[in-house]
Amino acid sequence: MYTIVTGAAGFIGSNLVKALNDRGVTNIIAVDNLTRADKFKNLVDCEIADYLDKEVFIERLTAGDFDGQVKAIFHEGACSDTMESDGHYMMENNFRYSLAMLDWCLAQKVQFLYASSAATYGGSSEFREERQFESPLNVYGYSKFLFDQIVRQRLAKAQGKNSQIVGFRYFNVYGPRESHKGRMASVAFHHYNQFLAERKVKLFEGCDGYGHGEQKRDFVYVGDVAKVNLYFLDHPQRSGIFNLGTGRAQSFNELAAANVNSCRALAGEPAQSLEALLKQGFIEYIPFPDALRGKYQSFTQADLSRLRAAGYTDSFASVEEGVAHYVKWLNSHV
C-alpha cells in the first residue's frame, strides 16, 4: 500500500516524508509541482517509491489508477503565498484540487490528512475551531476556510464517519527545509540569515498597543508538526479540524534573542539577555511599515483544547528549544 504526500518537495511535506522514512515507511508517492526546481533538494536525503507531477497525479487518481492501493494521503500541497492576488489560481489550486482528493479518499475509505491554516481566523482575537471566530482577510485564507467548511459538511454525514478526515490549522511553522520559500519562509529563517549577513536582527517597533518587538505569535517547530500528523495517522478513528500550534504565544523579541544566542553559541560565545543583546546592537528596532497597519496580526495563540481532547499529549518545543535545533541544522546545511 502506498502513502501519498502532496507538496512533498515543499516545507512541511518534505519533513513528513523524512518522518515517515524514520519509522521505516518508504513506499511513498511524492507529488509536487517542480516548476521551482530547487525544491528537489528537500528530498535528496529521503526515500520514495515514485514522484508524480501534481497535474498527472490528480488525473491518474480520478481515473482510478490508485484504487485499492493507498493507505493514506497527506495533502500538504497548496499555494501558501498570502500576498497572491490571483483568486482564480488560488481557488483552483487550494480548493478544487483538494476537493477532488477528499471525495476520492471518502469513496476509497483512505485516510485523508490535510493542511489547513490559522489564516482562516483572519483578524480574530480568539483562535478556536469554531465558525464564529473565522474571518479570513485574504484569498489564501478564504480558500482554506472554504475547504474546511466542506470538510465539516462531509464529517456531519455518515460517509465522514467511515473514513478519517483530519485538517490541521498550522500556526507559524518554522524549521528545516524551508529555504526555497524565499520571502514566505519563517521569521526564524530570515533572522538567521540576517544575523549572518549583518551581525544583527531587525524587528518592528511597537504597534497595536504592543511594545517594540513585543508582538506575539504562536511559533511551532516543524518537527512537532510532523509528530502530530503521524499521531493521527496512527489513530484513524479520530477525525476533525484541529489547531496545530504550541498553545503558547511568544514575542518576536524572544524569537530574535533565541536566534542570536544560538548563532553566537556556534562561535562559542555565551548566551545573553535581551537587554544585553539590545545594548550591544545585536537586536535593532525599525519603524513599523505603514503598509502593514491594520493588516498585521500582533497576537496569535492556538487553542489546543480539541487537539488534547483527541488524545495528543506530547509537549511542544519552545522558541528557545526549536530555534536552537534549527540554527544547528541551518549551519550544517550551508
**28 grid coordinates:** 511513498
Strand segments, DSSP code E, in 184-319 are 201-204, 216-217, 219-221, 240-244, 250-251, 283-286
Catalytic residue flag (residue 326): no
**Options 97, 114, 140, 170, the catalytic residue:** 140
* Residue tagged active-site, from 181, 200, 202, 227: 181
> At a CB cut-off of 8 Å and minimum separation 6, what does 71 contact?
1, 2, 3, 110, 111
147, 95 contact by CB (below 8 A): yes
The alpha carbon of residue 118 and the mean position of all alpha carbons in its chain are separated, in whole angstroms, by: 9
- Is 140 designated active site? yes
What is the b/e burial string over 145-157, where b = at least 16 CB atoms within 10 angstroms of the residue's CB? Answer: bbbbeebbebbee
* Cβ 137 vs Cβ 123: under 8 Å: yes
| Nearest alpha-carbon partner for 60 in 71, 72, 49, 52 | 52
Q: Where are the beta strands (DSSP E) in the chain?
A: 2-6, 28-32, 50-53, 70-75, 111-117, 165-170, 172-174, 201-204, 216-217, 219-221, 240-244, 250-251, 283-286
- Cell 556556534 belongs to 266
Closest CA to 75 of 59, 54, 91: 54
Q: How far is CA 316 from each of CA 54, 200, 222, 301, rounded to the nearest angstrom? A: 32, 28, 10, 13
Helix (H, G, I), strand (E, B) or coil at 166: strand
How far apart are the C-alpha atoms of 13 and 168, rounded to whole Å? Answer: 13
Which residues are identified as catalytic? Answer: 140, 181
